Amino acid sequence: MRITNTGYNPKNTLQPADIRRYNWYIWRTVIALFAFVVIMITLTIFDVFGQLPSFRDLENPKSNQATEILSSDKQVLGTYYVQNRSNVTYRELSPNVINALVATEDKRFYEHSGIDFGRSFTIFAHLLIGEKQGGSTITQQLALNLFSERSANPFKRIIQKLQEWVTAVKLERHYTKEEILTMYLNTVDFGAYNTFGIKSAARTYFNTTPDKLTPDQAALLIGMVNGPGIYSPIRHPDNAIKRRNLVLNRMAEQKYLSEGQAEDFKRKPLGLDFHQNNHFDGLAPYFRSVLKKEVQKIFKEQNINRPDGTPYDLDRDGLKIYTTIDATMQQYAEEAQKEYMKDLQAQFNNHWRGRNLYKSIHNFKFLLDQGMQKSDRYKQLKQQDKTDEEIQENFNTKTTLNLFTWHGNIDTLMRPIDSIIYSKMLLRNALMSMDPTTGYVKAWVGGTNFEHFKYDQVKSGTRQVGSTAKPFTYAVAIDNGYSPCLKINNVPDTIRGYGAPWCPRSSPAETLPGFITLRQALAHSQNWVTAHIMGEVKPEPVVELIKKMGITSNVPPYPSICLGTFDASVFEMTAAYSTFANHGLWTEPTYILRIEDKNGNVLYTHTPRVVQAMNPQTAYVMTYMLKGVIENGTGSRLAYKYGLRNPIGGKTGTTQNNSDGWFIGITPQLVTGLWTGCEDRDIAFQSTRLGEGANSALPIFAFYMKKVYANPALGIKKNVDFDAPANGVSIEMNCDVYNQQQQGNNSEVDNKLGF
C-alpha cells in the first residue's frame, strides 16, 4: 500500500525574493500602463491622433442648429433646418429635466472636472473585448456630440475616448456646470422625426416647452438619450415605459423624487401629444418659403457673412429672424381660408359635375399635357430614359396616390393622369393683410396647401387684377378736382388715339341706366363710366400713379388698364390700397424686422421705404368712394350677409371669363387683399354669380375680419373711421350740397348769357 504525502512542503512557499520579484512585475505593469496613458494623453493633446477643438471651437461649438422664424408676438412660426434643433437657455429648462439627466447619466456630475476616473479606467478593457461600458460623463458625451462621431472600431474608440477626456477637461475650464448641461441638452439626438435637442423633443412628443416638462415626461425623454430607436415611445412604447420607470427610480435614489412620487409617476401612461416635425409644420409655410429666399438674397446683396467670411447657412447656423407676422392673425387668416374654400370648392365641383371638361374648357388637353410634363413623376420617368409611350402608359395605370382635400389628405387608387385633372380643378386662394401705417405684414396665406402646391400666390404669382384697378383711375380724377357726386351718363364711350378705338362691354343685367355719380359708378363697378373717366384723365397719369403705389409689373399706357387688364400680385395690390388708408402715403410692405445670429448679434434690420403717392385729400375722398362699394355696391354682402357694417372700404374684382376673383378691403388699421382662381386661367366658374370676387374672395375677408374684431388683444378697433386731412377737404362729398352748387353755377351762367 502506497501512502501519499500531503504534509507541508517548504519548497512550495513563496520566498521573500519571489514576492519582491512579483511585486516588481506588478508595479512595472502599472507604471507602464500609467506611462502609456500619460504618453497617449500627451500625444492626444499635441494633436498627433487628430486635431482637437481649438479655444475658438470651444467658444463657438459647431452644431446643426435650426434657424427660427419668430412672429411679432414672439411665437415660433417655423424653422429652417437640416437637423431640427433649436437651443434653449438654462433658465428655460425644467429642473425635472436636469435631475433626470444627472441621476441617469452622471450622478457625480457636480463633483468631477470632466472625467469620472472611478469609471473611466475600466473603459479600455471593455472596449477591447467588444463590450459597452457606460463610463462617459455628461461632459465627455457633450464633447463627442459637438466635435466627433462615435467610431465602431474599438482601437479607434480608445483614441477617441482620450480625445474626449482632453476636450471634456477643456470644456469644464471654459464653461460652468449649468452651461455644460444646457449645451448637452441642446445637442442630443432624440431619434427619428428629425428631432434634435430638448426643445424640439418637448415639442415633438408632448407639444410643450422644456420648462413645462413634468418628471415623467422628462424621464421619458432622458431615457431615450442612449437609445432613441429602441426606447422610442412611438415605435416601442413598452420599452419606453420600462426605460422611463428606470429613470424615475434613479431620480428617487438620488433624492430628486420621493419613493411615493416615483411610484405615482410610474403608474401614469405615456401621455404623448405627438407632432411629427417636417418643413410644412407651423403657421405661414408659404410666407416662410418666400422669406428664406429673401433673407438669402439680402445676405448676398449686402455681403452679410459669418465672422470667418463664409456665407451663412440658414439650415445650420441657428439664426433668429424676427418678422412682422402676427401669429394669432395668421391663424385666423388660415382658418378663414379653410372655412370658406371648403364650401367654395363644393360649389365649383357641383358647377362642373356632369360636364365634359375636354369640350367645355379651352385647351384642356394642352393643359393636362403641360401639367403632366411639370410633374415630379414625369421628370423621374424621363431620368430613367423612359420613352413617351412608356410614360403615357405609366400615367394611365392606376397606382396609390396621396391627394389633398379640404377634409385632409387621402390615399387613393387612381391613374396619375386623373390626379392631374383633379389638381387642375382645385381652386387656389391667397391672402395678405397689412398695417397701412407701418407697412407691417400681419398675415400671409400664399396658397391652399403648401405640402401639395408650393407656388406662392401672394408675392411670387401675378394675376390679372380686373376691377380692383378701377380706383386708380378714379383717384387721378379726384386729384384733378372731380367730385364723387359728379354725374356721368352711363352709356358706351369709345376712346380713340391709342391704337384701335376702344370701348368696353357692360353686362345689361349689371348696368345702371341713366346719369349716375362717380361714387355709384365705382360702387357698382360700371365699365362705361370708368372708361369715360379714363378718356378724361388719360392713361399716362394713371400709370404714373399705379407705379407710385408700388405696382412693379408691366402696366402699358392704354385705356383698358382702367378695367384691370394688367397683372399684379396680391402683395402689390394690397400695399397699393394701403395708400388710400394711409393719407396718400405708400409704405413698402415689410415682413422682416431684424435678423440675429445664434448669439443674439444683430445682422440686419429693415427700414421700409415711404412714398407720397397722392395728396391726403385725394386719399381721404377715395376712402369715401370705397366705402360706397360696401354700403350699397358689389361688396354689400359684407354688410347684409356677414354683419360688418362698421367703416370698411373695399373693391371687388372679376376678370374675363371669371378666371380671377378679387377682393381688397380697407380699414384705418388693416388692409387685406384676396385672390381666388384655378392654376390655369382657362379653368374657372362659367357663372359670374359664382365666379365674381364678391362670391369667391370677399367671404374669406369677412370670416377673417370677424375673428380679428372679436379679439380685443389685437388692437384692431371696429368702429374707427378714416381720418380726414388736417387741412380739411375742398372737394364736396355731400351730393345734396354739390347738386345745389351745380344748380347755382348753372343759374349764374344762364344769367350772364341772358337766358
pLDDT bucket at 111, cuts 50 / 70 / 90: confident
Q: What is the mean pLDDT of residues 630-635?
A: 96
* Superfamily (CATH) of domain 432-450+458-714: DD-peptidase/beta-lactamase superfamily (3.40.710.10)
Q: What is the pLDDT of residue 415?
A: 94
Residue 83, class by beta-carbon neighbours within 10 Å (0-12 exposed, 13-18 middle, 19+ buried)? middle
Q: What is the pLDDT of residue 631?
A: 96
Q: What is the mean pLDDT of residues 723-749?
A: 84
Return the CA Rg of the chain. 36
| Rounded-to-integer distance, Cα 427 and Cα 676, Å | 7
Q: What is the pLDDT of residue 749?
A: 45
Q: What is the mean pLDDT of residues 21-43?
A: 64
Q: What is the mean pLDDT of residues 377-396?
A: 90
Q: What is the mean pLDDT of residues 211-238?
A: 89
Q: What is the mean pLDDT of residues 701-709?
A: 98
The pLDDT tens digits of the residues spanning 290-337 come to 999 999 999 999 999 999 899 998 888 889 999 999 999 999 999 999
Q: Which residues contact 370 (CB under 8 A, 6 or more apart)?
A: none
Residue 121: DSSP 8-state: T
* Superfamily (CATH) of domain 85-267: Biosynthetic peptidoglycan transglycosylase-like (1.10.3810.10)
CA angle 420, 462, 343 (to 5 degrees): 55
Whether 362 shows a pLDDT value over 60: the answer reads yes
Q: What is the mean pLDDT of residues 584-588?
A: 97
Domain-wise residue ranges, the chain: 85-267, 432-450+458-714
Positive or negative, the CA dihedral 311, 313, 319, 322 is positive
Q: What is the pLDDT of residue 147?
A: 52
Average pLDDT, the chain: 86
Whether 237 shows a pLDDT value over 70: the answer reads yes
Q: Which residues contact 572 (CB under 8 A, 6 or more apart)?
A: 462, 550, 551, 552, 553
pLDDT bucket at 193, cuts 50 / 70 / 90: low
| Rounded-to-integer distance, Cα 42 and Cα 121, Å | 17
| Rounded-to-integer distance, Cα 429 and Cα 676, Å | 4
**CATH fold match for the domains 85-267 and 432-450+458-714:** no
